[in-house]
Amino acid sequence: MVAAAVVVNVAIVGFGVAGRQHAEALAGSTEFRVSAVVEADEALTTGPLRRAPSWDAVLADPEVDLVGLCLPPGGRADLALEALRAGKAVLLEAPPALSEQEVDRMVSVAEQAGRPIGVMLQHRLRLPEAVCAADWSDPSLTGTLEVSRFRSPAHFGRTPWRSDPAAALGGAVAHLAVHYLDLACQLLGDPAGLWLAPGREAYRGIDTRATGVIEFGSGATLSFTATSEAAASSERLRVLGPANCLSVDDGTVSARIDDVDDIWPTLPLPLLRRLVYQDMAEAMRTGHRPRHSHLDGARPVTRILQALRA
């Protein structure tokens, strides 16, 4: 555990887009300090942040409390296990795992090591307590999800891992829609079935458009489309039922809970990411699993991504 007054030392592993977003979220914080960055590409500068000589050096460094794994998702679980066994807390970028079995293995080792493991599915922090506490088990609930963010065809070939399904674990769904799919799963529960329309790919296994329907164990359904081919940027999730309704439009949350309407302000992404780190720090202090960012809550969205790849 980490004492309440102690600054949490973070090692960011991988300093591409995600790694730099983690550093931005922690910049200026009095609770956290980026004590090391691991980046194999010498062409990528880490700026004023100290560059660690190697991954092994981070594992051996007693000052590192928490490791943020911002590497491509394929194979990342093995590094998480190494870090947990070395006594570090671990925060995974999304998508978190190759399979539910991989999630189970990481959660099991985290429990054995007495260190928390979480996932940067920061949109979970958008859901107010009133929404989370509401009853979303009605089988008549139906949802729609639309995620669109343009990526040029060259984007997927710019770095080798983005065109490799074993490393990237997918395309538009795994890297753009994963956050909102996870958000839907936080409310609707475990997916029981998946139906897909014909999609489009930049490379085999790297989707640029996917459309389908997910059925949940409760009987609720969610239709979704994720695309990186459209010019417009849009992130919209709606869940509609006879008593409770939810809408998340580009980060703004509105809901009707038991006939009471409410709307909550849009929180910027750097703040949400810092809140995930604060959630991890609280788990390190208390010895409990992270309240919001816990990895075991990512089993449902991992099951969906696994089914999509299959």
pLDDT attached to residue 1 = 57
170 phi-psi bin (left φ>0, alpha ψ -120 to 50, beta other): left
Q: What is the pLDDT of residue 159?
A: 86
Token pair listed for 217: 């164990």
What is each CA distance from 307 to 81, 108, 157, 195, 251, in whole angstroms? 24, 23, 24, 10, 27
Q: What is the pLDDT of residues 279-290, one digit of tens each?
A: 999 999 999 999
DSSP secondary structure string for all residues of 291-302: SSSBGGGGHHHH
The pTM for the full model equals: 0.95
Backbone angles phi, psi at 220, to 5 degrees: -65, 155
pLDDT at residue number 153: 86
pLDDT at 120 (0 to 100):
98
Q: What is the pLDDT of residue 5?
A: 54
Gap between the Cα atoms of 156 and 171, Å rounded: 8
At residue 76, φ and ψ (nearest 5 deg) are -70, -25
pLDDT class of 8 with cuts at 50, 70, 90: very high
* Nearest Cα residue to 8 out of 112, 115, 106, 126: 115
Q: How far is CA 206 from the centre of its chain?
A: 18
Residue 4 pLDDT greater than 60, yes or no: no
